[in-house]
Structure 1
Amino acid sequence: MSAHPPAEAITPANPESPSRFQAQDGRTVRRLRLGVGVLGILLPIVLPVGNSLTSARVALLSSMSASYYTHMRNVFVGGLCAIGVFLICYRHDRREDRLSSVAGVLAIGVALFPTEPPSSLVPHPSTVQTTIGMLHLACAVGLFGVLAYFCLRLFADSQAAGGRRPAQDWVYLVCGWVIVAGVLTVVVAGVLHLARDWPLTLPYLGEAVAVLAFGAAWLVKSEAVTALAPRAVRPVPTAPATP
């Protein structure tokens, strides 16, 4: 009698089954995408709401990064670090693996290098604070750039042979360009010093819209939105061979 188990013994119920590992890896990928998407959508909403609740007044932020100097500092830093860890742990293919790891490191950099403190708290920031603020800005720009590339080139690459894009690809493209527009809004507002005294500032609006768009793209990619999830292609049955 042979000592090796028959080929039929390798089934999804068998813990050594290759198909089981493949399905589990697929679930892990979708869960990581879901985690990134949910955090990306919640962060721009939780920060001003939580700051208003803890301050007992409507306290809007000049930017998302400025929440570092509010009661929501731990939420801001923890949320970005969680997104960074999810991105570093994310594994799909070689291109996405490398870029997601870069994005994860940049997200953690945004969290650990705070932006320059507002003038209301520190009228004359030190050289160290200014330098760290520049590192924060560089990490943030790099992070948004990588996330926009994910949406525009990596996620939206499933164009069918007939030239028609699936519905979810249009979502990725829109989200990618919204991220670009949000970053440009922040840059223009910072260079021209626009609307610094408005209740809802342009920097916060640009950052929030960009983060919401990135979160929406990853949420759709996780297939949590079933209406936009790609449908599995069913194999075409073949007629049995005649003897």
Structure 2
Amino acid sequence: MSAHPPAEARIPDARIPDARIPDARTPDARTSVDPDPRAQDVRTVRRLRLGVGVLGFLLPIALPLGNSLTSARIALLDSMSASYYTHMRNVFVGGLCAVGVFLICYRHDRREDRLSSVAGVLAIGVALFPTEPPSALVPHPSGVQTAVGMLHLAFAAGLFGVLGYFCLRLFADSPAAGRRRPARDWVYLVCGWVIVAGVLTVAVAGVLHLARDWPLTLPYLGEAVSVFAFGVAWLVKSEAVPALLPRAARAAPAAP
């Protein structure tokens, strides 16, 4: 009789987990339906979300504040995009390019990966293709300036659309049967609908030329509120607001 065990006895049990196989869970400790083999580690994902959130949160505040300080007067513009034609141009372009790079580098699962990459390209497009110059600076813009301004509007509309979709469909989870929706999901939903309302406000004000002589114009208000809302949503998603974390995550010790 051979002393060697049969060949099938040497086959490892497939039910025994292999320590070399990485965990397919997403950084939110939920099992991903379609995990991305290029997914990043938890801390990198959180930091990228935090970067997007901080920039989105601060841009609507920094642009008018910086413009007022450099102009030595309270200086509000027709839109956030008009900051391109002020001393805050570098902040506006640099902030949007940074958001774009963060979104392109962001990895979570396949669906978020693709959409964040699209949003990143759109954000860089908004920065590099400026809006049509204000009539106070250029009463009669050239055909090139008008065409570039139209591209800017298309990039901006696409960017807000993707970021609104993130809040309404990707960040907010559908609650299980018989369970209440957690507080953080309500934040995502509110932010998503605020983005939608802000974009509609900009569109209606642009078509009907509403309140152009107000100190705080409707286009500026719509853009600023939308950017602020997506910044808040990404800050919450980065787990920077401990009060909105799941109870289990708050009780767990911090990762080394």
Same fold (TM over 0.5): yes
Aligned residues: 219
The corresponding residue for 1:153 is 169
Map 1:75-154 → 2, pairs under 5 A: 75-154=91-170
TM-score normalised according to structure 1 size: 0.86
Matched, 1:182 2:181: no
Q: Deviations over 1:91-137 (max 9, x none)?
A: 00011000000000000000000000001111110010000000000
Q: Deviations over 1:149-170 (max 9, x none)?
A: 0000000025233241111001
TM-score normalised according to structure 2 size: 0.82
Q: Give secondary structure in 2 for the equivalent of 1:227.
A: helix
**Cα shift at 1:87:** 0.3
Q: Which residue, 79, 84, 87 being the options, matches 1:68?
A: 84
Partner Cα distance (2:234, 2:105) in 1: 15
Map 1:9-28 → 2, pairs under 5 A: 25-28=41-44
**Cα shift at 1:55:** 0.7
Contact 1:186 1:207 in 2 (8 A): yes
Contact 1:50 1:72 in 2 (8 A): yes
The CA RMSD over aligned residues, in Å, is 2.0
Partner Cα distance (1:75, 1:160) in 2: 43
Runs of 4+ in 1 over 6 A off after TM superposition: none
Matched, 1:33 2:59: no
**Cα shift at 1:44:** 0.3
